[in-house]
Chain A
């Protein structure tokens, strides 16, 4: 008998537990609200592990949520950065458009001021050599630009067209050594020639010693050279040199137009052509 139990102990224990649990199930299914004392004890024992599991689960859940939230924040951050870049680009573009609009408006006003025909052009290139002050415009003979035309901006004189091809033209800036602009000292109506200087500035040449010129005097084009319209602002006197034994005064001029920053210009028809017509 004992041997039988030992030999079939697993089977018998299975049968026992199956029978016991089936009995329990039958009893409890029929009376679902019956309080099971062992169940209550198990529930009490399981309370602390359940609490621990819940705490760990909550902690993991929170960590996971934060992780996912961080991922979404990262994506949102990248998206916002892109948006900021796009907006900055738009803002830069708008500023550029606004600035160009202002400059073009000024050119338009200038065009109305000087009268006649004038061509708006954009500076698309500059001489890379320090001692040659020229610029290239995006307008040429096909647009009406010819050699000898004056190049102006609202703030003053820029230069004159020295050569023109079909679609581009080269401008000799007033700050070039070989440039010469016939001017008047606005206050005294004294004539002179403004030319470029070796140091990159401009000088007022051929102004006799007796002529009255002072620092701060405004220089305007005289219109007598047949290139620049009369009365266009050229610059101001910044230094009047020692009169010493020289025949003419040495006068330094600061151009009113910042030639290094000019972008759009107005190319104006010469008042007289090269052959005097």
Chain B
């Protein structure tokens, strides 16, 4: 656990992006299938990532409906919280299944670092996605 590779959670960043800029059924479907695909590819019990991604999407979209999140600081904050939320969800689910996958202090540190890494990549990912949007979608 002490040498876990830091992998940026690009799908989660994408999920946050959808939650902020695409609060639609399509966004919810995409978030679900991102998680589902992750489950299928990673070998985790199917549904864990799907649920976590869906939850992140729902949380971000609800927050975005109440608050103005289209500014860099809010976006970074949402990504950070998204990583924490997703990980916490995974922890709860895995503990529920008595798998104890990540219940370790090292894992928590690792999650914080992953969140920091995600924050670092967020501006680039958001810029690329925002540039790819049709003009009428842009705020």
Give chain A's interface residues, CB within 8 Å of chain B.
9-10, 13-18, 20-30, 32, 36, 38-40, 42-43, 46, 50
Bound-state Cα–Cα, A38 to B33, Å: 11
Q: List 25 A-B contacts (CB under 8 A).
A: A9-B25, A10-B23, A10-B25, A13-B25, A14-B58, A15-B58, A17-B28, A17-B32, A18-B58, A21-B35, A21-B51, A25-B46, A26-B47, A27-B47, A28-B45, A28-B47, A29-B45, A29-B47, A29-B96, A29-B99, A32-B97, A38-B40, A39-B46, A42-B40, A46-B41
- In the complex the two chains form, is A36's CB within 8 Å of B51's CB? no
**Chain A residues positioned under 8 Å from B39 (CB to CB):** 39
- In the complex the two chains form, is B47's CB within 8 Å of A10's CB? no
Give chain B's interface residues, CB within 8 Å of chain A.
23-25, 27-29, 31-32, 35-37, 39-41, 45-48, 50-51, 53-55, 57-58, 61, 93-94, 96-97, 99
Counting from the closest, the 7 A-B pairs by CB-CB distance are A24-B47, A25-B47, A29-B97, A21-B50, A21-B51, A42-B40, A28-B45
- In the complex the two chains form, is B28's CB within 8 Å of A36's CB? no
CB distance from B25 to the nearest CB of A (A): 4
Bound-state Cα–Cα, A25 to B36, Å: 10
- In the complex the two chains form, is B36's CB within 8 Å of A21's CB? yes
Choose one: B24, B35, B46; the contact of A36 (CB below 8 Å): B46
Residue of A at shortest CB range from B39? A39
- In the complex the two chains form, is A43's CB within 8 Å of B46's CB? no
Residue of A at shortest CB range from B58? A14
- In the complex the two chains form, is B40's CB within 8 Å of A29's CB? no
**Chain A residues positioned under 8 Å from B97 (CB to CB):** 29-30, 32
CB distance from B7 to the nearest CB of A (A): 12
**Inter-chain pairs besides A9-B25, A26-B47, 15 sampled, C-beta below 8 Å:** A9-B24, A17-B28, A17-B54, A18-B51, A20-B50, A21-B35, A21-B47, A24-B47, A25-B45, A25-B50, A28-B48, A39-B46, A42-B37, A46-B40, A50-B41
- In the complex the two chains form, is A20's CB within 8 Å of B37's CB? no
Bound-state Cα–Cα, A36 to B94, Å: 18
Bound-state Cα–Cα, A225 to B39, Å: 112
Choose one: B23, B37, B47; the contact of A22 (CB below 8 Å): B47
CB distance from A112 to the nearest CB of B (A): 77
- In the complex the two chains form, is B61's CB within 8 Å of A23's CB? no
- In the complex the two chains form, is B40's CB within 8 Å of A18's CB? no
Bound-state Cα–Cα, A21 to B55, Å: 10
